[in-house]
């Protein structure tokens, strides 16, 4: 009994310490203790950090599976906090997948460096260590994820009183846009990298883009390569199977044969997405081993294995219900594909019925064009996802930057000096603070 009273008294003192720290009456010296008493936090683990930050922690936060029923079942959401100062800006990364990379002490997000800011990385629900049990798919929605991020912002604003900037890359960039859409008062600005806004399970704009990107000779070279791979399938498929065995990958949902065909169809999209070089596409007379090595580096068999499909099934559930995706032009390859179809809907969770709701992205699109504020969207000009870029060009409260010839790896640092300066000046205006201008 005495022990219990003492424990409650210590916790009461820590809450008082937090209150004093946040009121400015006391400079908090022990962030670890403050984190442990924040509501909903169930675990705090110290981790190494880099020279950009003073402390870093891995945090587990109890979140409602359904934010419309906050008293219902909870799941643990993993958060990575890198601390520099309570009154400094805070950059929150709304990851779209798992956030394993944030456990690397060397990791520092581009905007956190530019703004000399604290950094918070939030793992997306249903990925990594942030998976509800049971995994009820109907709560894997953009609205529920946005509510997760809103809860994180509201919680950590108790500690960090400076400007708040949200950001993300690819699906994480989409996630930052949806968070901004649902909770525009959570942040002072959002920077979304290479984030598409698709309008169908197989949005045709990506395929149209692939018919025009680059120059005609490069596109012809890509098509010839696909034909060459199909013609040499009898030699390349055994190499893929051997490679999969070495990597302990299995093909039961998709047969190795069908996985191989998907890889060939995917090749042009992945080629342009990651900025591959037309001059390095192999000649027809190359050895089978070298041909497979090149091919599997552009399109990895992992994504079509049981292991890869399981890892990405939360994304494909969302793609098939709200986010949309892209499809393939199978007609030029019918002689090799026979009469089989190759829809990307096959990657959704097995045994789960998915119905696409176009109104989700339609509402976001309408908001982007007319009501979004303090939003910067960055794209690579040769990235197929640029085909479905956010349509904010006429919204004067936003900024859209396209890196000429850029890939899915386009960032502020890869843009021209003029584009970078425009981004810096825009952020300075929105945030009322100076931005570091890298030399």
Bridge-based pairing of strands 118-122 and 164-169 is unpaired
What was the pLDDT predicted at 27?
Answer: 46
On whether residue 180 sits in a domain, the answer given is yes
Q: Domain range spanning residue 409?
A: 40-199+377-431
- Residue 253 makes CB contacts below 8 A (sequence gap 6+) with 306, 309, 350
- The answer to whether residue 191 is domain-embedded is yes
Torsion angle in degrees (nearest 10) through CA of 304, 307, 308, 313: 110
Beta-carbon contacts of 397 under 8 Å, excluding residues fewer than 6 positions away, are 372, 373, 374, 375
In a shared domain, residues 299 and 156: no
Q: Which residues pair with 91 in a beta bridge?
A: 119, 165
Domain of residue 47, CATH code: 3.40.50.1820
Ranges of the chain with pLDDT below 70: 1-29
Is residue 372 included in any domain, yes or no? no
Give the chain's mean pLDDT. 93
**Number of other residues whose CB lies within 10 A of the CB of residue 111:** 24
Whose structure tokens read 């603070």? 433
* DSSP secondary structure letter of residue 196: B
Q: Are residues 32 and 45 in the same domain?
A: no
Q: Does 233 lie in the same domain as 187?
A: no
Strands lying side by side in the sheet with 164-169: 41-46, 55-64, 74-83, 118-122, 90-94, 164-169, 189-193, 375-380, 398-403
Tally the C-alpha atoms within 13 A of residue 273's C-alpha that lie toward its C-beta: 15
**Digit-coded pLDDT (tens) for 45-91:** 999 999 999 999 999 999 999 999 999 999 999 999 999 999 999 99
Residues 60 and 177 in one domain: yes
Query: Are residues 185 and 218 part of one domain?
Result: no
The answer to whether position 366 is within a domain reads no
pLDDT at 16: 52
Residue 369 resides in a domain: no
Asked if residues 248 and 422 have their Cβ atoms less than 8 Å apart, the reply is no
Examine the domain organization and report whether 300 and 258 are in the same domain: yes
Find the distance separating the first CA and the last CA of the chain, reported in whole Å: 62
Residue 120 pairs in a beta bridge with 81, 92
Q: In terms of domains, do 75 and 194 share one?
A: yes
Within this chain, do residues 332 and 211 fall inside the same structural domain, yes or no? yes
**Structural domain contains residue 356:** no
DSSP label at residue 283 = P
Out of 296, 325, 347, pick the residue that ends a domain: 347
Beta-bridged to residue 22, according to DSSP, are none
What is the per-residue pLDDT for 24? 46
Report the percentage of the chain scoring pLDDT > 70.
93
Q: Are residues 182 and 49 in the same domain?
A: yes
pLDDT of 20 reads 53
Same domain, 181 and 233: no
- DSSP string of 336-358? HHTT----GGGGSPTT------T
Q: Do both 187 and 228 map to the same domain?
A: no
Are 163 and 222 members of one domain? no
């Amino acid at each position: 009994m005495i022990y219990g009273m003492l424990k409650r008294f210590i916790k009461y003192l820590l809450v008082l310490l937090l209150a004093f720290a946040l009121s400015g009456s006391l400079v908090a010296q022990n962030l670890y203790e403050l984190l442990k008493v924040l509501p909903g936090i169930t675990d705090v683990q110290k981790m190494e950090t880099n020279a950009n930050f003073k402390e870093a922690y891995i945090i587990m936060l109890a979140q409602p599976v359904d934010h419309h029923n906050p008293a219902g079942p909870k799941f643990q959401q993993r958060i990575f906090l890198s601390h520099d100062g309570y009154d400094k800006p805070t950059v929150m990364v709304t990851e779209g997948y798992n956030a394993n990379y944030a456990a690397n002490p060397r990791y520092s997000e581009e905007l956190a460096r530019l703004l000399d800011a604290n950094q918070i990385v939030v793992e997306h629900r249903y990925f990594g260590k942030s998976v509800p049990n049971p995994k009820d798919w109907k709560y894997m929605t953009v609205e529920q994820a946005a509510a997760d991020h809103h809860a994180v912002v509201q919680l950590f604003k108790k500690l960090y009183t400076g400007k708040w900037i949200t950001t993300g890359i690819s699906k994480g960039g989409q996630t930052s846009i949806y968070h901004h859409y649902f909770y525009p008062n959570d942040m002072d600005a959002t920077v979304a990298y290479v984030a598409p806004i698709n309008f169908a399970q197989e949005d045709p704009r990506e395929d149209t883009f692939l018919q025009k990107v680059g120059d005609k000779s490069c596109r012809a070279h890509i098509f010839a390569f696909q034909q060459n791979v199909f013609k040499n399938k009898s030699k390349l498929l055994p190499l893929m199977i051997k490679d999969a065995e070495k990597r302990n990958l299995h093909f039961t949902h998709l047969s190795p044969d069908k996985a191989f065909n998907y890889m060939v169809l995917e090749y042009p999209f992945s080629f342009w997405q990651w900025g591959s070089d037309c001059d390095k596409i192999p000649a027809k007379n190359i050895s089978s081993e070298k041909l497979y090595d090149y091919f599997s580096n552009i399109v990895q068999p992992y994504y079509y294995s049981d292991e890869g499909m399981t890892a990405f099934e939360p994304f494909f559930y969302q793609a098939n219900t709200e986010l949309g995706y892209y499809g393939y032009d199978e007609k030029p390859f019918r002689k090799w594909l026979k009469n089989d179809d190759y829809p990307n809907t096959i990657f959704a969770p097995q045994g789960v019925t998915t119905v696409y709701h176009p109104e989700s992205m339609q509402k976001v699109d309408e908001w982007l064009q007319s009501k979004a504020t303090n939003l910067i969207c960055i794209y690579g000009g040769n990235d197929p996802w640029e085909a479905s870029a956010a349509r904010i060009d006429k919204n004067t409260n936003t900024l859209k930057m396209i890196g000429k010839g850029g890939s899915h790896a386009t960032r502020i640092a890869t843009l021209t000096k003029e584009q970078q300066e425009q981004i810096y000046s825009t952020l300075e205006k929105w945030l009322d603070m100076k931005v570091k201008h890298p030399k």
